[in-house]
Amino acid sequence: MSLFKGAATALITPFKDGKIDYVAMGKLVEWQVNQNIDGLVVCGTTGEASTLSAKEKIQLTKFVVDLVNGRVPVIAGSGSNNTADVIELSKEMQATGIDGLLIVTPYYNKCTESGLIYHYEKIADQVSLPIIMYSVPARTGVNISHTAVAVLSEHPNIAGIKEASGNISQICQIASYISDDFALYSGNDDQTVPILSLGGIGCISTVSNIIPARFSKMIHDYLDGRYLEAGAEQVQLKSLIDALFLEVNPIPVKAALNMMGMCNLEYRLPMCLPNNKTQYMIYDTLEEFGLVGR
């Protein structure tokens, strides 16, 4: 059983004076739900999870779960390069009432494929929630191969994979393991429709921070058989998606939300303000898409 179909927004984490801005977070979450988003992900890459303490992650997740109150699924990121720490945090996240866990591959350690499989199996054995594995080798240095997926997709608590390798050939191989109990999600906004064409059922998205209804509609158009419309929309959105990756995520998307009046332009180091050229390019693109006033 899949956690969601469609678009799940990988939420930013707004900050104010170095602390989580819960007022801005609450407004963002309500807007997302009212825009008919299909799911929400907290404490992911886009949420600057690597700079949040474990206590902050749990508090933020509980805040979102309570606010959403079952209206859409809430998935929390609990990945780390220490298996024991992932298990501990995952159990605490589970107690907040979330619907599932997003667990990125262990980074820096450079584990073998056997170690990667043991890592996920050990975690999945210790929690009762469905897990979506997250493969983003450009950031972690660790890839989840189709041979690893062949093993891990058999675990009853491993419900799918967020695939952000960018390698369509690999994703095609992984797609052969899709089943009623194992889902494929796009982790790259600009490859969403191609991944849907391979049997994917959604995207854990950055761009849906700023266009939740539009991005969700594109996915549901495809899932409902309106393939040409979805493909045309994917092409139309390419320049907007590119603008959100002019610098490393989530620097540009948080700048975009700031321009839209939804959060402060504040990050935690080593994330920092985008350069002036990036800011101008983001604003011009938002203006082109009607997301800021002319």
Each residue of 20-78: pLDDT tens digit?
A: 999 999 999 999 999 999 999 999 999 999 999 999 999 999 999 999 999 999 999 99
- How many whole angstroms separate alpha carbon 210 and alpha carbon 147? 36
Specify whether 177 is catalytic.
Answer: no
- How many whole angstroms separate alpha carbon 19 and alpha carbon 206? 22
- The pLDDT of residue 1 is 64
Each residue of 256-286: pLDDT tens digit?
A: 999 999 999 999 999 999 999 999 999 999 9
Cβ atoms of 111 and 103 within 8 Å: the answer is: no
Choosing from 120, 134, 185, 222, the catalytic residue is 134
Residues contacting residue 290 through CB under 8 Å, at least 6 positions apart? none
Instruction: Quickly list H helices, the chain.
Output: 22-34, 54-68, 83-94, 113-126, 137-140, 146-152, 168-174, 192-197, 212-223, 227-236, 238-243, 251-259, 276-288
Residue 174 reports pLDDT greater than 80: yes
Residue 294 reports pLDDT greater than 80: no
Q: Nearest Cα to 19, choosing from 40, 62, 48?
A: 48
Domains and CATH numbers, the chain: 6-224 (3.20.20.70)
Pairing of strands 15-16, 100-104: unpaired
Burial class (CB in 10 A: 0-12, 13-18, 19+), 13: buried
Choosing from 162, 177, 185, 222, the catalytic residue is 162
Q: What percent of the chain has pLDDT over 70?
A: 99
Specify whether 254 is catalytic.
Answer: no
N-to-C CA span, the chain: 45
Burial class (CB in 10 A: 0-12, 13-18, 19+), 33: middle
Distances (CA, A) of 156 to 81, 106, 173: 23, 21, 21
**Residue pointed to by tokens 């469905």:** 130
The total number of residues written for the chain in this structure: 294
Q: Nearest Cα to 250, choosing from 230, 271, 279?
A: 271
